[in-house]
Chain A
Amino acid sequence: MTTATTGKRPLGAVGRVLARREARVALLFVLPAFLLFLAFRFGPSIAGVALSLFDYDITGEIAWRGLDHFQRLVADPLFWRAMGTTVVYTVFAVPISLVLSTVMALGVRRAFRGSRFFRSIFFLPVITSLVLAGSIFVWIFSANGPWSALMSPLGLGGSWLGSTVLVIPAIIVVGVWSRFGYGMMILIAAMQDVPRELEEAALMDGANAWQRFRSIILPHLRPTFFFLAVIETTAAFQVFDVIYVMTQGGPANASYSLVYLLYDQGFKYFDYGYAAAVGVALFAMTLVVALVQRLVIGKQR
């Protein structure tokens, strides 16, 4: 579907010169971004990852620990607890968010009176920093808040943030609320790309909305879904802000995520080496999942 990035140029002598020139220009174009990445992503990441093999404290003392931190990590029940919380959060928040994004995108993708208004409303949570919105959500989920009032008839009243069982669903709700608009916008753009003739033809063949979605729109969305899946999963694995402002990992560590563990170990207890080990574990997890997603969802080429 993509226009080929590799042209079908003949590679005679002239061709080779041109190809080398192209490569040089290309590298020049990539250079500024690449240098920035080296300095501020690769460099600090490697330093941060390397820290996991040492004990490092703020006075600058470094001591070699080898794999000690990782041994401690594996034996730490709080690590596994945080892993469980993070995984549960991701497993629910990402699909729900993607489904919601898709449904909303389908609903507002065509222009009609008010479509722009609705798109804006759904996008507002995306531009809202959770650090600033946290306090209103604490109230919403409190025992006297509107969410409890809504859930009372279902027998689920009371403060969700105070329940070790319901606290994760609560942060999932907030997490989804704050991100679904982003996916929605990206999906709207991707859906614009679907040739209308195809949909019209299917309609005339008698296909209903769901069938049209499944056989025509969905295949076109595959690469977009891959992109969104990786981005949303990475973000979900790194869930921190919403927990920091709403629950601080509680009650009784029920909403303690991996990045929260990292944060506590590094910035509260000054154990940077151990924190870096948590970071490495998280990075590895995210990478593995991304690779799996590539296999399953894949990119069209």
Chain B
Amino acid sequence: MTAATPTTTQALTTPDRGRRATGRGRSRSYRALEPTGLGVVLRWIWLSIAAILSFFPFYAMVVLSLKPGKVVELPGSLLPWNLSFDSYAQVLGGQNLLGWLGNTLVYSLVSVVAVLFLSALAGYAFAKKRFAGKEVMFWSFLAMVMVPFHVTLIPTFILMANLGGVDTYWGLILPTLANAQAVFLMRQFIEGLPDELFEAARIDGAGEFRIFLRIVLPLCKPILATLGIFVFLWHWNDFLWPLIIGKSNAMFTLTVGISSLQQQNVPLSTMLAGSVVALLPIFLAYLVAQRYVQEGVTGTGIKG
């Protein structure tokens, strides 16, 4: 948020909670809350240090992947010259990359749409409706997060196998749609929406589902954007489940495919090249989408 008034998109999509005073009278004390002069410089310094530390592993990954076959030594190996793309040629040559990419996109995008819709539905019901067993149901959803993944792995696979879902898209996607955190976040957000908005529509005679589609969902845009990114990323990076449910190279996702290139004794630069190739798409997607994530996050009211 800048010192100017919020953008129109934010104004439309974020419920007004009376916390944005506009007008000139605000700017004096607003600026007082912001650091000035030396404060600004200090903030830049420590944020930059933190950013360097945070980003360093990625930088190292890229630089070292461009130095195939060499023994790594400090600091020479970290300097960005004498670069060669040999490791990438090794990783990319003759692989079914496009197929894997396609699978990963299907897996991630379909899951996002499904999770957002279903958890918004459920979250709305938990947030705004009364019904028997609500609390127990909600807390049991959350408790399921506490069961370690490997414990449910085999029973889930057996179930999918008996339903004929092995090596299929729907078999890959379906079990991952049960997302407790998504339901939780949706509930938190929707609880913060004032009831009057729905009451008005209800009095007008609108059906419940209509209210959900026309009023609740649009209001939830910020949290949907944020949640969508989280779910997308989780599915993109998922390794063990796609490995197990897919039985053929054609069904591999990107992470599974890249790891299949890691035979024994693969050099460090090749391993890193593989990692970079697998990470690049989401980094790019994130860079593009981060504007929406951040606007979504700043507009999200995660309250109790």
- Asked if A and B touch directly (CB within 8 angstroms), the answer is yes
CA–CA, A3 and B187, complex, Å: 12
Say if the beta carbon of A73 comes within 8 Å of chain B: no
Residues B54 and A231 in contact, CB atoms below 8 Å apart: no
Q: Enumerate chain B residues within 8 angstroms of A108, measured Cβ to Cβ.
A: 47
Q: A114-B44, A140-B60, A181-B54 are in contact. List 8 more A-B contacts (CB 8 A).
A: A41-B152, A48-B151, A104-B50, A131-B237, A135-B275, A137-B57, A193-B19, A204-B29
Residues B32 and A3 in contact, CB atoms below 8 Å apart: no
- Cβ 8 A contact of A283, one of B124, B148, B239: B148
Tell me, rounded to whole Å, the shortest Cβ–Cβ distance linking B161 to chain A.
12
Say if the beta carbon of B250 comes within 8 Å of chain A: no
Chain A: CB-nearest residue to B134 = A26
CA–CA, A179 and B28, complex, Å: 37
Chain B: CB-nearest residue to A195 = B19
CA–CA, A47 and B144, complex, Å: 13
CA–CA, A272 and B152, complex, Å: 11
- The interface size of chain B toward A, counting residues with CB under 8 Å, comes to 112
Residues B129 and A26 in contact, CB atoms below 8 Å apart: yes
Tell me, rounded to whole Å, the shortest Cβ–Cβ distance linking A94 to chain B.
15
Q: Enumerate chain A residues within 8 angstroms of B81, measured Cβ to Cβ.
A: none
Residues B237 and A127 in contact, CB atoms below 8 Å apart: yes
Say if the beta carbon of A169 comes within 8 Å of chain B: no
Residues A131 and B131 in contact, CB atoms below 8 Å apart: no
Residues A136 and B275 in contact, CB atoms below 8 Å apart: yes
Q: Which 4 A-B pairs have the closest CB atoms?
A: A223-B304, A26-B129, A129-B237, A279-B151
Chain B residues at the A interface, C-beta cutoff of 8 Å: 1-2, 17-21, 26, 29-30, 32-34, 40, 43-44, 46-47, 50-51, 54-58, 60-61, 64, 72-74, 78, 118-119, 121-122, 124-132, 134, 137, 140-156, 159, 174-175, 177-178, 180-181, 183-184, 188, 191-195, 199, 208, 212, 226, 233, 237, 239, 255, 258-259, 268, 271-272, 274-275, 278-279, 282-283, 286-287, 290-291, 293-294, 297-304
Residues A127 and B298 in contact, CB atoms below 8 Å apart: no
Residues A266 and B297 in contact, CB atoms below 8 Å apart: no
Tell me, rounded to whole Å, the shortest Cβ–Cβ distance linking A125 to chain B.
6
CA–CA, A147 and B298, complex, Å: 35
User: 23 A-B pairs, CB-CB below 8 angstroms?
Assistant: A2-B191, A3-B191, A4-B195, A23-B129, A32-B122, A36-B174, A41-B144, A51-B155, A118-B50, A121-B51, A123-B290, A124-B286, A127-B282, A128-B58, A136-B57, A136-B61, A146-B56, A185-B297, A193-B19, A204-B29, A224-B304, A227-B302, A262-B150
Residues B51 and A190 in contact, CB atoms below 8 Å apart: no
Chain A residues at the B interface, C-beta cutoff of 8 Å: 1-7, 19, 22-23, 25-27, 29-30, 32-34, 36-37, 39-45, 47-49, 51, 104, 107-108, 110-112, 114, 116, 118-129, 131-133, 135-137, 139-140, 144-146, 149, 177, 181, 185-186, 188-190, 192-197, 199-200, 203-204, 222-224, 226-227, 230-231, 234, 238, 259, 262-263, 266-267, 272, 275-276, 279, 282-283, 286-287, 290, 299-301
